[in-house]
A and B are shown apart, each in its own frame.
Chain A
C-alpha cells in the first residue's frame, strides 16, 4: 500500500480517503436538497401536485327572472353562445386568435387585448370567453372546424333578454359584461359574466345573481377524467315580481308620446310604484350584447338625454305643486285660517319689486281653497313672506321634498330645499327677501324629483305616512316618517285638490271624471326667468329649451284603493293642458274608467 503513503500531498486527494470525501459530499448535497424539496418547499409542491391532477369547472347559476305585478315576463335568460379558449389545450394561441379574427371580423389587436386582460382572471383549464354572443351561423361554422383548433370551445352562457325593452329600460336597467373595476371588487365575478349596470338589475344584483357552483375533476396526465365531484352546487338567483304593471306602464308611455318627461303612478297605501316612465328611453338589449361605440356616442350626445332616469335623477322646481306644502304649513302654523282671505289684484309688491300673479287680472278675494284651486300666486307671496324661508324649507323637508326616497333605483338625486346659509355657501351671496316669495310658489332654487312629489301626494292621501316608494311587489310598506300635517289640515288640502278638478275655474279640470273622487294640482316650473320678449307668446312660439316644465300631481280613489299619479312634461308649457291629459290617461286605467264614460 506504499502507493498511498506519498508525503507529497495530503492523503485525501488520492487513495481510499478520497472515496470517503466523495461519500460525505454526496450525503451533504442530497440531504440538503431533499430537505429543501420535501420539507422547506413541500407545501408549494403539494399545491402543484394537487393542481396537476384537479381541474375545476364553474357551474353557472341562472339569474333570477323579473316579472311585473301580474306575472308578465319582463327580463328572462336565453342561451347565448360565446367563443372561448382553454389556454392549456391550445398549442398556438396567436394563430387561433388570427382565426377568431377572421371568423368574427373583430380586429386582431382587440382580441389580443381582450385575451391579455382576461388571462390573469381565468383559472387553469377553464374557458376564457374571447368573443361573447356570437350568431348561430358562426357557432355552426366553428363547430365544423373544431378539430383543427384545439383549445377553442363554444361556451354556452345565459343571456339576459328584455321583452319590453324601451318601455321598462329605466325601471329594469340592464346587465352587461362586468368591467375591470367590478371584477376587482367582487371575487365571485368571472371574466365574461354579466352584472347589473342600471336600474333594478343593478340595485338588486345580489338577490338576482345567485351563486355559482364548482365542480372538480380528477384527471391524469393526458387529461382523462378519472372522477368528479361537486364541490358546491349552484344556487339560482331569486326571481322578482315588480310592483310595476306593464299595461299601465305602456299607457303612461304612450300618453307621454314623443315628449320628454316622467310619469309616476303609485299605490298611496303601500308605496308600490305601479308605473315609472322616463322618456326618451333606450333599448337595454343593446347593452347586453355590447353596445356599439357609435350607438353609445349617439345616446350620450342626444340633447334629450335618454339615459337619464328622470323620475329619480332629474330635479326640477316643483312650481305651484309646492303650494300644497306651503299652504299646509300656513294652516299648521296658524298663519292663515281656511276662511281668512287675501285680495289678489294680479300682483304683489315687496319693497320696490313687483311680483306678478300668473293671472294678470287678479283673483280678487281669495281664501285657502280658492288659492289652491286657482293657484293664486299673490296668496302665497304673502304667506311666504309671513312664514319665512327657513320655516318653509324645514317643513318641506319634513314633507319629503329635497330628500332621497330610497326607491330601488341607482343614482337617485335629492334635489334641494334652499336656506340662506345654503345660498351663502353656494354662491357667496345673501338671501334676498324676494327669493322667499319665489320660493313660496315653488320656483327658484327649490328642486325636487317627480318621485318625491308622488311620495308627498301619497302621504296626503294615506293619512300622513311618508313611505319609501318600492318597485317590489308584496313588500311590507316601509314607513319612513309622518307628514307634518294634522288630519284637518290634510283634509282641507285634499278637498282643495278635489275642487281644483271639480269646480269651475279649477286648474286641473282636465282630470274630471264624473262619479269619481279625483284631486289634482298643476304646476309650471320656470326653466329661466322668462325674458320679456317671450312673455306674451304662446308655448309653441318659445324656443324649446326656454319653455316651462309642466307638472300635474293627482290622486284618485276607487273601491277603497287610493292611487297617486304624477306627470311631468319637460318644457311642456302648462301643467293643466300639457301634463294633465297624461295623468288623466293613467288615472283612467287605474280607476278603470271606460273611454266614453
Chain B
C-alpha cells in the first residue's frame, strides 16, 4: 500500500517549519509557565505536557501520511456524520467546564468533538467542491455552506464562538478558493456587510461585552479591557530586542492573563521583542507559503482543496489570535497554532500538517486505473 518512493517526495520544508514552530512554542511555554515569587522561580509543567501532546500528534500525523489521501473521499460522509453525532452527544451528556459544555468524558480522556469536526468539515467540503463543475452558483454554494453551518450551530450552542467561527471561516476560505460565479460574488459583496450587524443579536452578553471592550478598552481597565491592555503593554515593552528569555515582567509577575494559552504570543513578544516577533511572523508565513505551494502542485482538485482548507485553518487562527494579542481584533478564544498550549489543538494541528504532507508527496503518483 505504501510506496517507498514517496519518501523522496516528502515536503521537507513544511516538515522542518512545523518542527521549528513547535519547538519555539515549547520553549515559549517554558517561559510562560514560569512564575516569579518572592522565593524564586517556579515552573509549571505545561511545556512537558505540550511535548507529550506533540509526540502524540506526530504519531497521528505519520499514520495519516501513510494512507493515500484519496481514500479519505470515501469515508468523508461517515466521518462527518459521526462528528455530528458526537456534537449532539455533547449537548446532551457533555461535561461542563467553566460554564461551557464542550467535552465528552470517555473515562480516561476528555474528548472535544469540536476539534474532530474541523477536520470533518474540511474533508467533506473539499470532496463536495472537487465534484462541482466550475465556479459555485447559488445551489452549489448553498450545499457547501450547509456542511459548515450545521456543525457551527451545534458548536455555537456549547457555547464556543471561537470554534464555530473557525469552522465557518475554514469553509468560507475554501469557497473563496474554489471561486463563486459573478452574480453570486456581486450579491455577497453587498449582502454580507449588511448581515454583520444582525449577527450582533445572536451573540451572548459576554461576547457583546468583548466586542465593546475591544472598541474601547479604557472604559473597563480592570475588567474586560484588562486582557487587551496588559497584552499590549507586554508586547510594546519588549521593544526592539526584547527583555530576554525568562525576563518578561508582564508574564512572570502574572500581569498578563492566559499567558500560556491565548496570550502566549504576548509572552514571546515581550521576551524576544520586535526582532523575535518578526522572525516568528516570517516562520508562520513560510509555513503557510509551503501549504500554498502544495495547493498549486496537488495532482487533483480534491488534494488542492484539502491543502487550501488547511491553509485557511491555520491562517485564520494566526490572524485572529495575533490580531487579538496586538489589540487589533476583539478577544475571541482562538489559540495560536503550535505556540499556545492545548492538547487536542496540538494533535489536530499535526493532523492538518499531515494532510498537506500527504497531498504533497503524492503529487507525482498517477491514478491506478
- Which residues on A are within 8 Å of B, measured CB to CB? 1, 3-4, 6, 8-9, 13-16, 18-20, 22-23, 26-27, 29-31, 33-35, 37-39, 41-42, 44-46, 48-50, 52-53, 218-222, 224-227
Q: Are B178 and A42 in contact (CB under 8 A)?
A: no
Known: A4-B179, A16-B304. 6 other contacts (CB 8 A): A1-B304, A16-B292, A34-B235, A45-B236, A48-B237, A222-B254
Q: Are A49 and B233 in contact (CB under 8 A)?
A: yes
What is the minimal beta-carbon distance from A12 to any residue of chain B, in angstroms? Answer: 11
Q: Are B281 and A34 in contact (CB under 8 A)?
A: yes
Q: Which residues of B contact A45 (CB under 8 A)?
A: 232-233, 235-237
Quick one: which of B37, B182, B273, B296 has the most chain A CB within 10 A? B296
Of the listed stretches B8-16, B21-29, B80-88, B319-327, chain A binds B319-327
Q: Which of A26, A31, A44 contacts B318 (CB 8 A)?
A: A26
What is the minimal beta-carbon distance from A224 to any residue of chain B, in angstroms? Answer: 7
Query: A35 to B273, alpha carbons, bound, how many Å?
Result: 10
Q: Which of A23, A29, A33, A226 contacts B289 (CB 8 A)?
A: A23
Query: Is B112 in contact with chain A by the CB < 8 A criterion?
Result: no
Quick one: which of A19, A34, A44 has the most chain B CB within 10 A? A19
Query: A222 to B35, alpha carbons, bound, how many Å?
Result: 13
Q: Which of A31, A52, A227 contacts B233 (CB 8 A)?
A: A52
Q: Which residues of B contact A34 (CB under 8 A)?
A: 235, 269, 274, 277-278, 281, 326
The 6 A-B pairs of least Cβ separation, nearest first, read A45-B236, A14-B179, A49-B237, A38-B274, A221-B254, A220-B253
What is the minimal beta-carbon distance from A150 to any residue of chain B, in angstroms? Answer: 13
Q: Which residues of B contact A4 (CB under 8 A)?
A: 179
- For A48, give the chain B residue with the smallest CB separation: B233
What is the minimal beta-carbon distance from B292 to any residue of chain A, in angstroms? Answer: 5
Query: Is B315 in contact with chain A by the CB < 8 A criterion?
Result: yes
A26-B185 CB under 8 A given contacts A14-B135, A14-B178, A39-B239: no
A38-B238 CB under 8 A given contacts A15-B179, A30-B326: yes
Q: Which residues of B contact A35 (CB under 8 A)?
A: 274
Query: A220 to B254, alpha carbons, bound, how many Å?
Result: 6
Q: Which residues of A contact B296 (CB under 8 A)?
A: 16
Q: Which residues of B contact A6 (CB under 8 A)?
A: 134-135, 179
Query: Is B153 in contact with chain A by the CB < 8 A criterion?
Result: no
A42-B236 CB under 8 A given contacts A18-B176, A18-B177, A19-B308: yes
Q: Which residues of B contact A226 (CB under 8 A)?
A: 36-38, 253
Query: Is B345 in contact with chain A by the CB < 8 A criterion?
Result: no
A44-B236 CB under 8 A given contacts A34-B326, A39-B274: yes
Query: Is B123 in contact with chain A by the CB < 8 A criterion?
Result: no
| CB pairs A–B below 8 angstroms (13 shown) | A3-B179, A9-B182, A19-B311, A26-B285, A29-B323, A30-B281, A30-B322, A33-B327, A37-B235, A38-B240, A50-B237, A52-B233, A226-B38
Q: Are B249 and A52 in contact (CB under 8 A)?
A: yes
Query: A14 to B278, alpha carbons, bound, how many Å?
Result: 28
A41-B179 CB under 8 A given contacts A6-B134, A220-B253: no
Query: A27 to B289, alpha carbons, bound, how many Å?
Result: 12
Q: Which residues of A contact B179 (CB under 8 A)?
A: 3-4, 6, 9, 13-15
A29-B285 CB under 8 A given contacts A19-B308, A39-B240, A52-B249: no
Q: Are A20 and B322 in contact (CB under 8 A)?
A: no
Query: Is B255 in contact with chain A by the CB < 8 A criterion?
Result: yes
Q: Which of B277, B291, B304 contacts A38 (CB 8 A)?
A: B277
What is the minimal beta-carbon distance from B13 to any residue of chain A, in angstroms? Answer: 15
Query: Is B213 in contact with chain A by the CB < 8 A criterion?
Result: no
Q: Which of B239, B253, B295 contacts A53 (CB 8 A)?
A: B253
Query: A218 to B328, alpha carbons, bound, how many Å?
Result: 30
What is the minimal beta-carbon distance from B226 to any residue of chain A, in angstroms? Answer: 10
Q: Are A23 and B288 in contact (CB under 8 A)?
A: yes
What is the minimal beta-carbon distance from A26 to any residue of chain B, in angstroms? Answer: 6
Q: Which of A20, A26, A41, A221 contacts B319 (CB 8 A)?
A: A26
Q: Are A3 and B36 in contact (CB under 8 A)?
A: no
Q: Which residues of A contact B238 (CB under 8 A)?
A: 38, 42
Q: Which residues of A contact B235 (CB under 8 A)?
A: 34, 37-38, 45
Query: A19 to B291, alpha carbons, bound, how many Å?
Result: 9
Query: A594 to B135, alpha carbons, bound, how many Å?
Result: 125
Q: For chain B residues 223-251, which have a beta carbon within 8 Å of chain A? A: 230, 232-240, 249-250
Quick one: which of A14, A49, A220, A226 has the most chain B CB within 10 A? A49
Q: Are B328 and A3 in contact (CB under 8 A)?
A: no
Query: Is B301 in contact with chain A by the CB < 8 A criterion?
Result: yes
Query: A225 to B253, alpha carbons, bound, how many Å?
Result: 11
Q: Are A19 and B292 in contact (CB under 8 A)?
A: yes
Query: A16 to B295, alpha carbons, bound, how many Å?
Result: 6
Q: Which residues of A contact B230 (CB under 8 A)?
A: 52
- For B281, give the chain A residue with the smallest CB separation: A30
Quick one: which of B37, B134, B249 has the most chain A CB within 10 A? B249
What mask results when residues 288 to 324 of chain B are scored 1 for a CB within 8 Å of chain A, else 0?
1101100110000100100010010001001100110
- For A219, give the chain B residue with the smallest CB separation: B253
Query: A34 to B323, alpha carbons, bound, how many Å?
Result: 10
What is the minimal beta-carbon distance from A279 to any residue of chain B, in angstroms? Answer: 58
Query: A368 to B311, alpha carbons, bound, how many Å?
Result: 119
Q: Which residues of A contact B38 (CB under 8 A)?
A: 224-227
- For B235, give the chain A residue with the smallest CB separation: A37
Q: Are A46 and B239 in contact (CB under 8 A)?
A: yes
A3-B134 CB under 8 A given contacts A45-B235, A221-B255: yes
Q: Are A42 and B237 in contact (CB under 8 A)?
A: yes
Query: A52 to B236, alpha carbons, bound, how many Å?
Result: 14
Q: Are B326 and A53 in contact (CB under 8 A)?
A: no
Q: Are A220 and B285 in contact (CB under 8 A)?
A: no
Q: Which residues of B contact A225 (CB under 8 A)?
A: 38
Query: A141 to B37, alpha carbons, bound, how many Å?
Result: 35
What is the minimal beta-carbon distance from A245 to any residue of chain B, in angstroms? Answer: 56
Q: Which residues of A contact B181 (CB under 8 A)?
A: 8
Q: Are B176 and A14 in contact (CB under 8 A)?
A: yes
A37-B236 CB under 8 A given contacts A3-B134, A3-B179, A26-B315: yes
What mask results when residues 255 to 286 of chain B are scored 1 for a CB within 8 Å of chain A, else 0?
10000000000000100011001100100010
What is the minimal beta-carbon distance from B208 to any residue of chain A, in angstroms? Answer: 24
